């Protein structure tokens, strides 16, 4: 996978570039100091994933994510943040990033998160999910039945929001992967959504 690292801290950029560059399946094709520079790199370098910090000058990671996702639908964004960035996380979620991970985790964990997102899944670090849901769940009047979702469909939806793959969901619910795919297709149709990321955002917004 081709990766761009975005962080205003040069030491973090260089460290991540060095560590990620040691992996055979990862190529760091560029680094940027803010969201605008990342957007410009996406125009020329065609990355698969942008590893995006939140707090940066000129253009922060929230606006950088929005700009990239609006213009490059195939580019995936993984937000790399600290727990202190709660006030920014909700906006990053709404702007369509596929991953939300914390800087205090191991580099091995960051690498695995990138691989997971590259395969088409989402990654929601547990502490980040707690922060998001704590902000978003101010209004929790909605019920699954309000969206014509069955109990099982709602269960599948909640597991998607946790970042589980189809295989992991099937193992957790003791159902075949084909059955899980059918559930997801039905949920997408009922909610009129496009993909797993939108499903996860929908769950976090409404439940």
- Indicate which CATH number applies to the domain containing 107: 3.40.50.2300
pLDDT at 38: 97
Question: Tens digits of per-residue pLDDT, 93-121?
Answer: 778 889 888 888 899 999 999 999 999 88
**E-state strands within the chain:** 2-6, 27-32, 49-53, 76-81, 99-102, 123-124
- CA distances 145 to 112, 184, 204, Å, are 36, 16, 16
Q: Find, among 74, 79, 129, 127, the residue nearest to 100 by Cα.
A: 79
Specify whether 155 is located in the same domain as 120. Answer: no
Specify whether 45 is located in the same domain as 109. Answer: yes
Specify whether 52 is located in the same domain as 119. Answer: yes
**Domain boundary residue among 104, 135, 166?**
135
pLDDT at 133: 63
CATH code at 166?
1.10.10.10
What is the Cα 143 distance to its own chain's centre?
25
**Domain boundary residue among 135, 153, 174?**
135
pLDDT at 135: 61
Low-confidence residues of the chain: pLDDT under 50: 139
pLDDT at 132: 65
Specify whether 54 is located in the same domain as 16. Answer: yes
pLDDT at 125: 74
pLDDT at 102: 86
Specify whether 88 is located in the same domain as 118. Answer: yes
pLDDT at 90: 73
Q: Find, among 73, 81, 77, the residue nearest to 56 by Cα.
A: 81
Q: Where in the sequence is the domain holding 65, given as residue range(s)?
A: 2-135
**Domain boundary residue among 116, 135, 154?**
135
Taking the C-alpha atoms of residue 106 and residue 16, their distance in angstroms, rounded to an integer, is 11
Specify whether 148 is located in the same domain as 92. Answer: no
Q: Find, among 170, 197, 194, the residue nearest to 181 by Cα.
A: 170
Specify whether 42 is located in the same domain as 82. Answer: yes
Q: Find, among 27, 122, 16, the residue nearest to 76 by Cα.
A: 122
């Amino acid at each position: 996978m081709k990766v761009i690292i975005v962080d205003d801290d040069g030491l973090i950029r260089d460290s991540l570039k060095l560590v990620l560059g040691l992996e055979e399946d990862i190529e760091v094709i560029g680094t940027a100091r803010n969201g605008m520079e990342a957007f410009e790199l996406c125009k020329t370098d065609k990355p698969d994933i942008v590893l995006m910090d939140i707090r940066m000058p000129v253009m922060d990671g929230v606006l950088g994510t929005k700009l990239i996702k609006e213009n490059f639908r195939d580019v995936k964004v993984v937000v790399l943040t600290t727990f202190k960035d709660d006030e920014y996380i909700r906006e990053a979620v709404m702007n369509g990033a596929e991953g939300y991970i914390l800087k205090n985790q191991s580099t091995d964990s960051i690498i695995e998160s990138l691989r997971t997102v590259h395969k088409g899944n989402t990654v929601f670090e547990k502490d980040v999910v707690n922060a998001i849901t704590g902000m978003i769940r101010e209004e929790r009047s909605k019920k699954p039945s309000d969206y014509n979702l069955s109990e099982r469909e709602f269960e599948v939806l909640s597991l998607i929001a946790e970042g589980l793959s189809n295989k992991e969901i099937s193992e957790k619910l003791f159902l075949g992967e084909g059955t899980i795919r059918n559930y997801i297709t039905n949920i997408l149709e009922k909610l009129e959504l496009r993909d797993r990321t939108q499903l996860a955002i929908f769950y976090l917004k409404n439940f």
